[in-house]
Amino acid sequence: GTFVAQTVFGLARNYASARTIGVPIRFIPISPLNPFWTLVDRAVLSFIRRLPGPLGRNSFTRYNWRGWEVADRYRSHQEMGDIWVLVTPFKNWIYLNDPDALNSLFRRGNDFPRPVFVTGVCCWLENVLELTQDFPFAAILDVFGPNISTAEGQAWKTQRKMAMHSFNEQNNEIVWSESLTLATDMQKYWTSMPSIDTAASDLRTLSLHVLSRAGFGKSFKFESQEDRKTQRPSANSAANYKDSLQTIMENCVLILGLGTSFIAQPWLPKKLRDVHAAYVSFRAYMTSLYEEEKAAYAVGETGEPNLMRSMVRASQADAKDGGGLTEAEIYGNMFVFNFAGHDTTAHSFTFAMYFLAANPEVQEWLHEEIHRVFGDVPVEDWDYRANFPRLKRCLSVLYETIRLYVPVPTIKWTADKAQPLVVGGRTLVLPASSMIAPSYGSVQTDPRFWGPNSLNWDPSRFIVKSAEDGDEELRVPVRGSFHGWSDGARDCPGRKFSHVEFVATMAVLFRSNWRVKPAPKYPDESPEAARSRVLDLIENDSGSVLLLQMLHPERAPLVWEKR
Ligand code: HEM
């Protein structure tokens, strides 16, 4: 009874507010932030869609499930224009597809802050939000300490400054060399197997190992899933760090949802206690690194830079004049860097790998560029500063993949004040407490900005020839029409980190004469049939878990063979 009353009251209140904007409106009866609904939405709606006529085809079946934005692409905006409102019982969601308006939304960071209670890095937190509305939201991602992702105001400014200081070119150089080494070993493993159904988890390993080196200065060799299964748990603290981080990442929903003190209870199932043990061990490891770093700083030691080291050093230097990060903030940020930098990269890499397997001509196109840049120079001598900027085609593959499959949906809101926004030349007033969803699924595929083949995966759309010297350059998209790493003051500080990691990996994989293709599903499946099967898997079997990802990449094993 209360639920129905709350729903009706919420919808009426939000409808009244939405009408004041003067744009098209659609309704859904269940908040997209409702945790129980997101567990069953697809199943329930696939049943309701079978009902005849409007009973089976309406806003409820179209918009009331997680991930509809990617499936819908630009259709809703074509029907309703560049701005419309989805009224839900909890909040109004304003969908925006006008590049100028989007640009202004991102630039006006103070007017349109990130709703930190929904933190973009973890959609599941939205769910926690509705479950416990009185919960101190910012504390949820603060498992290890306050951090850049949950901070606001002055605290965020200090943390952002420190973060930007740490994500520097020296660090990118480490990302480069570590990615080269790991990708070389990954390729050795891939090409030694008749077929690979573990590409997604192997790419995840690669991304985690790059983070551990560039984040903490700890290097680990690439290991396949089999390697991992046969290894005994090591007493070595560095190996433990990696295992505990992996456990934390794989179970972050549990940790964030239940809280670290709860999962410590001795009567809980072993799995939860293991997760807690991983949390304790990760914390202990960070504490020891922190102490090491502080001691080294005190005696003036220097060494290879990494994110942790840079943060500790900058904080110690600033501590003298009262600025700097606290110890807890350093832990918090290290965790968030790992959290924000791991699956984002790994999922984008997986999408890209499957797109490449389905597009052999793009592999040739990459090979051509890589060959032009490196000639016969061995990988050990590849130079970040000289070579990375020239690998434009390799980078275009990442842009094109993220254009179609944005792993992290950015959301802004108007907080406690109504805000004017010019949309299509009209000044609209967006009421306080409105969520604003840049329609990334739409603006990044709208034929107005991307041409008639906007739904095809074609990295070459990101390449132009420079007018001056005829060299290839990355095309700058129509302003405001691409925001895969977000934009403005709160954009992704790990953007270049992910570029470097991706480009280095591509360069290693496609430098050689090895090419990747889908393994045939039955003996006489034609290569064309296999490719369209893979494209179909990408399009129809992707969805939001923590982030947008391919749900079952293992269903299409890949084969590496010599050309
Ligand atoms: C392909 C890879 C990546 C993509 C597509 C991506 C995308 C994004 C996006 C869209 C945001 C803004 C989220 C929001 O507004 O809610 C963001 C924030 C963030 N990202 Fe990334 N990211 C990637 C890789 C990385 C890496 C490798 C790191 C670190 C090593 C990283 C660290 C962060 C952090 C710390 C924030 C929060 C910034 C703040 O609140 O000021 N990201 N990322």
Q: How far apart are CA 345 and CA 496, in angstroms?
A: 11
Predicted confidence (pLDDT) per residue in 491-543, tens digit: 999 999 999 999 999 999 999 899 999 999 999 999 999 999 999 999 999 98
Q: Which pLDDT value is given to residue 15?
A: 97
C-alpha span between 423 and 97 (Å, rounded) = 9
Q: Please give the number of the atom of ligand 1 that sits closest to the Cα of 412.
A: 15
Render pLDDT for 541-550 as a digit per residue (tens, 0 to 9).
Answer: 998 777 889 9
Q: Which residue minimizes the CA distance to atom 43 of ligand 1?
A: 492
pLDDT of residue 119: 43
Overall average pLDDT of the 482-487 stretch: 92
Please work out whether the CB of residue 306 comes within 6 Å of at least one atom of ligand 1.
no
Ramachandran sector of residue 281 (left: φ over 0; alpha: ψ -120 to 50; beta: rest): alpha
The segment(s) of the chain belonging to CATH 1.10.630.10 are 159-408+447-480+483-562
Strands (E), 63-109: 83-87, 92-96
Q: What is the pLDDT of residue 13?
A: 96
Q: Report angle CA 501, 505, 508 to the nearest 5 degrees.
A: 145
**Residues comprising the binding site for heme?**
492
Which helix H or strand E contains 26, and what residues bound it? strand 25-27
**Atom of ligand 1 at shortest range from CA of 215:** 30
Q: Check if the interface score ipTM surpasses 0.90.
A: yes
Q: Which residues pair with 421 in a beta bridge?
A: 428
139 or 439: whose pLDDT is higher? 439
**Atom 20, ligand 1: which residue's CA is nearest?**
492
Q: What is the pLDDT of residue 129?
A: 36
Can you give the pTM of this predicted structure? 0.92
Strand partners, 389: none
Average pLDDT across the chain, whole number: 87
What amino acid is encoded at 547 in this protein? L
Q: Is the CB of 281 under 6 A from ligand 1?
A: no
Domain 159-408+447-480+483-562 CATH class label: mainly alpha
Nearest CA to 330 out of 338, 320, 342 is that of 338
493: CA distance to ligand 1 center in Å? 6
Is residue 141's pLDDT more than 70? no
pLDDT digits (tens, 9 = 90+) for 10-54: 999 999 999 999 999 999 999 887 767 877 888 999 999 999 999
Return d(Cα 166, Cα 413) in angstroms, integer.
Answer: 29
Q: Binning pLDDT at 50, 70 and 90, where does residue 121 land?
A: very low
Q: What angle do CA 406, 410, 412 make, to 5 degrees?
A: 160
Residue whose entry in the numeric block shows the structure tokens 């840079």: 310
Q: How confident is the model at residue 257 (pLDDT cuts 50, 70, 90)?
A: low
Q: What is the pLDDT of residue 116?
A: 63
| pLDDT digit string, tens, across residues 88-104 | 998 999 999 999 999 99
pLDDT of 301 reads 82
CB-CB contact of 497 with 341 (8 Å): yes
Strand partners, 426: 423
CA of 440 to the centre of ligand 1 (A): 15
In angstroms, the CA 205 to CA 197 distance is 14
- Rounded mean pLDDT, 432-460: 95
